[in-house]
Amino acid sequence: YRPGDSRTDSVERRLANLGAASVLFYRQPIEMAEAAGAWMVAKDGTRYLDFYNNVPSVGHCHPRVVAAVSEQIARLNIHTRYVVDVVDDYLERLKATLPPELENVVMTCSGSEANDLAIRVARAATGGTGIIVTETAYHGNTALVTEASPSARRRGSLPDWVIAVPPPSCAHHGTDIAGGFLASIEAALAEFARRGIRPAALLVDTIFSSDGIFADPAGFLRPAAAAVRAAGGRIIADEVQPGFARTGDAFWGFGRHGLAPDMVTMGKPMGNGFPMAALAARPADLAAFCEGTGYFNTFGGNPVAAAAGRAVLEVIEEEDLQGNALRVGAGLMEQLQSVAARDDRIAGLRGAGLFIGLDLAAPGGGRPDPDLTVRVIDGMRARGVLIGAAGRHGATLKIRPPLCLGADEAGIFAGALEAALREARG
Ligand code: PMP
């Protein structure tokens, strides 16, 4: 939506209520009414296949999650100063997916809060303040985390305690991505030393979603992580995007890289739409932080959140959604490769499982083309498929359907993409 676009009464009402903070997709925003599985239904009855999905990730309104939340909210829902079994049942199940040394989990209400806490814990545990992130990273909306989120800052330079490095991609590092990324991290550490700032952490989204989705070669994070640790910093894996089985290869994005982070933050898909997030940390690190502050979170880890989270873990396991992400993701990738073979405006295609990035550029490997990307996004919407963009130039389609996607739905996406690209040529 842009100022001057025609508005319906409902859009007008929304803008009047939210003002400048309103964030709506599309120049003619969609009024949504309901959703199930991979499909959403607008108020006017139009059905949309949801490929902009990283929240209701086990499927919209999954009956198991709906039942778990409904039962728990009807029985007990309170703040977090009492012992309630469902919370500890959930945390034990969650911890079974994590490196064993991350014995403590602090539940929060948003990924932003989890990252805010992770930075504060890293600082308390290391005595350093410096944070390394990637160039177009987004880690959240608190004052602290916004300072460490280059993509959320439209004005001004980064504070001196933040250094943004290029993401691990062949565009930046050629064929030796692990070595190139390591060199960028070493340069950032040297720059912190020059500034007289001790590093506290490397904070990375392990699929580099806002940077443009960089997944391969698996393992590229390990040398960089070793360098940060040698300089006294912690490794914080931001799993808000790749976590909970999306990449197919592993339950967590860091798992694909054979990395055991010092801290893990998670959110979005954790409650399939129920607002919940968390930080997993080692007990000693968390204690170093808690000694100096009376941290408390009223809603984080309430019994309803725990019930939602437990149902999500059960559904992922029982429906083998990690396996589905791997299989359907591979099939989708093959179909996209054949679309790319017929269209020289597709300049890049990469990803893992059901997290795929597709770069659009001027024909024959020219400049990234954000205008074409917008036309393709609009053309796909006209064909009933919802999709968004990412990357430094806003010219990478961020392909991220629910994990319950079927092969037939992957085919619908590839067909709509090809048709939208054809239309955008004319
Ligand atoms: N980290 C990453 C990688 C994200 O993509 C986001 C949200 N887009 C966040 C953190 C912040 O999460 P939330 O919006 O739940 O605060």
> Any idea where the domains of the chain sit in the sequence?
31-58+320-425, 63-318
Question: ipTM score of the complex?
Answer: 0.99
Question: Is residue 353 in contact with ligand 1, taking CB distance under 6 Å?
Answer: no
CA-nearest residue for atom 13, ligand 1, is 111
Nearest to 51 by CA among 257, 246, 264, 323: 246
Q: How far apart are the CA of 111 and the centre of ligand 1, in A?
A: 5
**Percentage of the residues of the chain whose pLDDT score is greater than 90:** 89
Asked whether the beta carbons of 275 and 352 are under 8 A apart, the reply is: no
Atom of ligand 1 nearest to the CA of 140: 11
Rounded Cα distance between 86 and 77, Å, is 11
Question: Is residue 115 in contact with ligand 1, taking CB distance under 6 Å?
Answer: yes
Half-sphere exposure of 182 (CA within 13 A, CB side): 15
pLDDT tens digit string along 199-235? 999 999 999 999 999 999 999 999 999 999 999 999 9
Tokens of 286: 């968390």
pLDDT tens digit string along 17-50? 998 888 888 988 999 999 999 999 999 999 999 9
Q: How far apart are the CA of 345 and the centre of ligand 1, in A?
A: 30
Q: What CATH number labels 63-318?
A: 3.40.640.10
In the prediction, which pLDDT does 23 show?
Answer: 86
Is 80 exceeded by the pLDDT of residue 419? Answer: yes
- Say what the alpha-carbon torsion angle 236, 241, 246, 252 is, to the nearest 10 degrees: 10
Residue 16's SS3 state is helix
Per-residue confidence at 1, pLDDT binned at 50, 70, 90? Answer: low
Residue 212's SS3 state is coil
Ligand 1 pocket mutation pick from 113, 134, 139 by most atoms within 8 angstroms of CB: 139
- Single pTM value for the model: 0.97
Per-residue confidence at 131, pLDDT binned at 50, 70, 90? Answer: very high
Atom of ligand 1 nearest to the CA of 137: 3
Question: Is residue 267 in contact with ligand 1, taking CB distance under 6 Å?
Answer: yes
In the prediction, which pLDDT does 3 show?
Answer: 66
Question: Has domain 31-58+320-425 been given CATH number 3.40.50.300?
Answer: no
Tokens of 384: 């009933």
In the prediction, which pLDDT does 341 show?
Answer: 97
Ligand 1 pocket mutation pick from 107, 112, 117, 151 by most atoms within 8 angstroms of CB: 112
CA-nearest residue for atom 10, ligand 1, is 139
| 107-to-117, 243, 249, 266 alpha-carbon distances in Å | 10, 16, 26, 9
pLDDT tens digit string along 61-91? 999 999 999 999 999 999 999 999 999 999 9
Per-residue confidence at 340, pLDDT binned at 50, 70, 90? Answer: very high
Q: How far apart are the CA of 244 and the centre of ligand 1, in A?
A: 14
Q: How far apart are the CA of 206 and the centre of ligand 1, in A?
A: 13
In the prediction, which pLDDT does 2 show?
Answer: 67
In the prediction, which pLDDT does 22 show?
Answer: 86
How many Cβ atoms are within 10 Å of 12's Cβ, its own excluded?
Answer: 10
Ligand 1 pocket mutation pick from 133, 208, 240 by most atoms within 8 angstroms of CB: 240
In the prediction, which pLDDT does 20 show?
Answer: 87
Asked, colleague to colleague, whether 31-58+320-425 and 63-318 share their fold, the answer is no
Question: Is residue 147 in contact with ligand 1, taking CB distance under 6 Å?
Answer: no
